Amino acid sequence: MPKASGVKVVAQNKKAYHDYHIIEKFEAGIELFGTEVKSIRQGNVSLKESFCTIKDGELFVRGMHISPYEKGNIFNRDPMRPKRLLMHKREITKLYAKIKQDGLALIPISVYFKNSRAKLEIGLARGKKLHDKREAQAEKSSAREMERRIKERN
């Protein structure tokens, strides 16, 4: 049976772009169980309050909610359990050094399937201050207003 090629985005954390300046993006595999994969394929995943931590040289995502698969009965896992992320050891140590030295955070950005494997895009991020959020909102609304005016003229 041939593998499905391409990328299918399942869930995105749009609040991450509102609350953080994303400096760099990384791709990590997710260690999941069968019913969790089926639930993600149905789109039952939420990244709202999730974040990544590094403990004992391993990368984990916490707060990522994967709803129980309705036909999974006894095989369903805890929806909020910490899920281990799969990256090379040197990448994890590099991320750990950046987090400790620069005071950055690792934030999940999106969950997607790439060649039938579940992946998580994580971003190395710095938190925005309130005035930064207001400035970004003002820029977005002014750009929207300019687009509207151009559309009216044409």
**CATH, residue 96:** 2.40.280.10
| 150 located within any domain | no
In which element (H, E) is residue 130 found?
helix 130-153
Looking up tokens 């090379």 gives 88
Q: What is the pLDDT of residues 10-39, one digit of tens each?
A: 889 888 888 888 899 999 999 988 888 888
Cα 78 to Cα 32: distance, rounded to the nearest angstrom: 12
pLDDT band at 5 (very low <50, low <70, confident <90, very high): low
DSSP state of 3: P
Query: Could you tell me the sign of the dihedral formed by the alpha carbons of 49, 81, 123, 105, in that order?
Result: positive
Report the share of the chain in percent with pLDDT over 70. Answer: 95
| 146 located within any domain | no
Residue 57, phi then psi, degrees to nearest 5: 75, 10
Q: Which whole-number Å values give the CA distances from 148 to 126, 134, 137, in the listed order?
A: 32, 21, 17
* pLDDT higher than 70, residue 118: yes
Give pLDDT, residue 4.
Answer: 56
| 108 located within any domain | yes
Q: Using an 8 Å Cβ cutoff, are 107 and 47 in contact?
A: no
| 2 located within any domain | no
Domain boundaries, position 63: 7-128
If 0-12 CB within 10 Å is exposed, 13-18 middle and 19+ buried, where does residue 151 land?
A: exposed
Give pLDDT, residue 80.
Answer: 81
Encode 5-37: b = buried (16+ Cβ within 10 Å), e = exposed.
eeeeebbebeebbeebeeeeebebebebbebbb
| 153 located within any domain | no
Q: What is the pLDDT of residues 60-93, one digit of tens each?
A: 999 988 888 777 677 677 778 888 999 999 999 9
Tally of structural domains, the chain: 1
